[in-house]
Amino acid sequence: MRVGFIGTGIMGKPMAHNLLRAGFAVSVHNRSRSRLADLISEGAAWMDSPRAVAAASELIVTMLPGWAEFEAVLVGSDGLLAGIRPGAIHLSMETVSPGQARRAAVMLQELGAHGLDAPVSGGEQGAIDASLAIMVGGAQEAFDVALPVLQAMGRNVIRIGPSGAGQIAKACNQLIVAVTIEAVAEALALARAAGVDPANVRRALAGGFADSRILQDHGRRMLDGDYLPGGQAKHHLKDRAVVEEIVAATGIDLPVAEAAFARIATLVERGRGELDHSALFTLFSDDAAREL
Amino acid sequence: MRVGFIGTGIMGKPMAHNLLRAGFAVSVHNRSRSRLADLISEGAAWMDSPRAVAAASELIVTMLPGWAEFEAVLVGSDGLLAGIRPGAIHLSMETVSPGQARRAAVMLQELGAHGLDAPVSGGEQGAIDASLAIMVGGAQEAFDVALPVLQAMGRNVIRIGPSGAGQIAKACNQLIVAVTIEAVAEALALARAAGVDPANVRRALAGGFADSRILQDHGRRMLDGDYLPGGQAKHHLKDRAVVEEIVAATGIDLPVAEAAFARIATLVERGRGELDHSALFTLFSDDAAREL
């Protein structure tokens, strides 16, 4: 299958690399060709526009920072929609809102093509290892055709439901991630406030019901003060907006998620939005400093 | 080592069984002797009071429902303190507050004995499998002597710090458990409200950053409506009291933990405190029912 790839950033580049390694013919485009030198040397074909990528591909992957960048690639005389072939599949792997995902799928459908929303979880390491969790929304038939491509980039590939459902699952994922990071931060801060070494507490909780990937990874970051991203805190405010869009549409009450997202907003307001989200732990040091 | 065991309930009985299996000489007491028939047939020696258990033992384990039951066993003319031998060790494995744990340790110290607080995480299955996480507070020397006994009951045995520190770690554990269960409930409720099958979402999140033992175990319970305990929701209100005691003493602000404990209080108010804590998910059905 001829695969196009647009959005070769921190996540996208290793994902495109994994497609090449799996034997797919890959064409790529980036505003700066020099950024793609490594992929081109590995066999990727350079195209001078998103339109040209689409025209050369049966399946096109985008992995862009968000909706603004995605829409800029999609529309216009050099855009993806201008070149897309009837029957082609577009895999939208960036995180956008469910409504935006459905809008893109409708635009594709009007041109006889198929849109799948397929956001991921697992971070840069998951992209490198091809171990991403990939949550897919869209028609079963298109999912079946795209599956070999998805499996070249991820380990846990699940079709959640119709168009937009992948982004809904991603919002659920981000809700749990935000709340669990704050839970671990509160527990370690509680231990420290009570005069106990939080490193011992983290070690003791391993294997019990409180154990999680976040206790392991983000808990260690908190104890080491290692806040190089990772997942930048400010990106969680986009996730908050997606969750609040669903909340507004359905009237559901999510008090703990709201409290956790409010903490992230405080962190961003204090100028720490570029740090890893585990920097939520620093809010407790602010409080302690104010006490002095 | 001669070991005494008081508190042979759902957790305590398999723990005492594991001590017998590890080759310790175990003496036991219970208000109802008939409840101990199985342990006695396996070689445990029956004693007619906590005092007699203490007099026969170098190390005494208690695994009682809470402070009221623990104090009743400790004091009085037939109590544990009346029989304890100088140099003996008491392992308090029930969940009480850090202050209560320190108070018990002081009473033991005044009699020349040593108190360790050693609460657990891992539930009935962990007690049966001897795979409990055990969080220990107290003197290093007493911990070293007690370690073979602890390792016969648990897999992750960590000395957290001085007297009371085990209970502080347990409070941190319970905070994370309460918040993470509510996070999983909110995420699955969000998926359902948005028209997506929450079972697909749970499956998709496995292996990503949102994954945890609670997503696996309690997430499955929510989807199956299987709320037989497990960990009863009402017990989390004791944990809330312990956390709030530390909060009051230190001035630390734990907004997400408070929001999660408030949800548990709502669940208990609605008469569902005997259910497993994963029944937090039912609060979203209440909301949906009110909408109709």
Q: Which of A22-31, A172-181, A224-233, B100-109 has the lowest mean pLDDT?
A: A224-233
Interface test with B, best of A179, A182, A240 (most B CBs within 10 A): A179
Cβ–Cβ contacts within 10 Å for residue B290, how many? 8
pLDDT value at B291 more than 60: no
Is the confidence at residue B231, as pLDDT, over 90? no
Scanning B172-231 for CB atoms below 8 A from A yields: 172-177, 179-180, 182-184, 186-191, 193-197, 200-201, 203-215, 217, 231
Residue among B185, B275, B210 at smallest CA distance from A253: B185
How far does CA B174 lie from the centroid of its chain? 9
Question: Following DSSP, what letter does each residue of A158-191 receive, concatenated?
Answer: EEEESTTHHHHHHHHHHHHHHHHHHHHHHHHHHH
List the single residue in A169, A260, A263 with the smallest CB-CB distance to B191.
A169
Tell me: pLDDT of A288 over 90. no
On whether the A2-161 domain is CATH 3.40.640.10, my answer is no
| Positions of B marked catalytic | 170
Q: Mutate which of A136, A174, A180 to disrupt the B interface (most B C-beta within 10 Å)?
A: A180
pLDDT given for residue B227 in this prediction: 97
Indicate if the pLDDT at residue B154 is higher than 70: yes
CATH code of A168-291, in short, is: 1.10.1040.10
pLDDT at B286: 84
Residue spans of the domains in chain A: they are 2-161, 168-291
Alpha helix stretches (DSSP H) within chain B = 12-21, 37-41, 50-55, 67-74, 80-83, 98-110, 123-129, 140-151, 165-193, 198-205, 213-224, 235-250, 255-269, 282-291
Phi and psi at residue B148, in whole multiples of 5°? -60, -35
Query: pLDDT tens across B236-247, in order?
Result: 999 999 999 999
pLDDT of residue A220: 97
Decide if B156 touches A, using CB distance below 8 A. yes
Q: Which of residues 114-133 of B touch A (CB under 8 A)?
A: 121-123, 126, 131-133
Considering chain B, what is the average pLDDT of its residues?
95
What is the Cα–Cα distance from A233 to A269, expressed in whole angstroms?
Answer: 11
Shared fold status for B2-161 and B168-291: no
The answer to whether residue B271 neighbours chain A at the CB level (below 8 Å) is: no
Vertex A20: Cα angle to A18 and A21 (nearest 5): 60
Residue-level pLDDT at B290: 67
- Residue A123, pLDDT above cutoff 90: no
pLDDT value at residue A26: 98
Report whether pLDDT(B165) > 60.
yes
The angle that helices B165-193 and B255-269 make with each other, rounded to 10 degrees, is: 70
Which of the residues A163, A211, A283 would you substitute to probe the B interface, choosing the one with the greatest number of B C-beta atoms within 10 Å? A211
First to last CA, chain A: 64
DSSP A76-128: STTSHHHHPPTT-EEEE-S---HHHHHHHHHHHHHTT-EEEE--EESHHHHHH
Q: What Å distances lie between residue A270 and A227, B74, B254, CA to CA? A: 15, 51, 18
Classify the C-alpha dihedral B246-B251-B257-B261 as positive or negative.
Answer: positive
| Tokens read off for A246 | 């669903």
Whether B265 shows a pLDDT value over 90: the answer reads: yes
Q: Give pLDDT, residue A291.
A: 57
> Is the pLDDT assigned to residue B152 strictly greater than 70?
yes
The pLDDT of residue A184 is above 90: yes
Find out whether B268 and B237 touch, Cβ atoms under 8 Å. Answer: yes
The letter for the amino acid at B182 is: E
Phi-psi region of A192 (alpha: psi -120 to 50; beta: other; left: phi over 0): alpha
Contacts of A158 in chain B (CB under 8 A): 200, 203-204
How much is the pLDDT for A86? 97
CB neighbours (10 Å) of residue B21? Answer: 12
Contacts of A191 in chain B (CB under 8 A): 168-169, 172
- Give pLDDT, residue A31: 86
Instruction: For chain A, give the mean pLDDT.
Output: 95
Q: Do A210 and B155 touch (CB under 8 A)?
A: no
For residue A244, count other CB atoms closer than 10 A to its CB.
15
- Identify which has the larger pLDDT, A289 or B272: B272
Report the residue count for chain B.
Answer: 292
**Confidence at residue A192, expressed as pLDDT on a 0 to 100 scale:** 96
Residue of chain A minimizing CA distance to B214:
A209
Instruction: Tell whether A237 lies on the interface with B, counting CB pairs under 8 A.
Output: no
> C-alpha distances in angstroms, B288 versus A106, B184, B260?
30, 18, 20
- % of chain A residues with pLDDT over 90: 91
Token readout for A244 is: 């609040």
Contact B42, B25 (CB under 8 A): no
DSSP for B119-165? -EESHHHHHHHT-EEEEEES-HHHHHHHHHHHHTTEEEEEEEESTTH
> Which residues of chain B neighbour A209 with C-beta distances below 8 Å?
121-123, 173, 177, 213-214, 217, 231
Residues of A in contact with B286 (CB under 8 A): none
Average pLDDT value for residue range B257-271: 98
Contact with chain A for residue B11, Cβ under 8 A: no
| pLDDT score recorded for residue B292 | 52
Provide the pLDDT confidence category of residue B31 given band limits of 50, 70 and 90.
confident
pLDDT score recorded for residue A286? 84
The 3-state DSSP class for residue B86 equals: coil
Per DSSP, the three-state class of A154 is: strand
Mean pLDDT of B261-289: 94
Quick check: helix, strand or coil at residue A41? helix
pLDDT confidence band for A290 (50 / 70 / 90):
low
Residues of A in contact with B249 (CB under 8 A): 194
Task: Name the percent of chain B lying above pLDDT 90.
Answer: 91
Q: Looking at the complex, does the CB of residue B280 fall below 8 Å from at least one CB of chain A?
A: no
Q: Is the dihedral of CA B263, B267, B273, B279 positive or negative?
A: negative
Predicted TM-score (pTM) above 0.95 = no
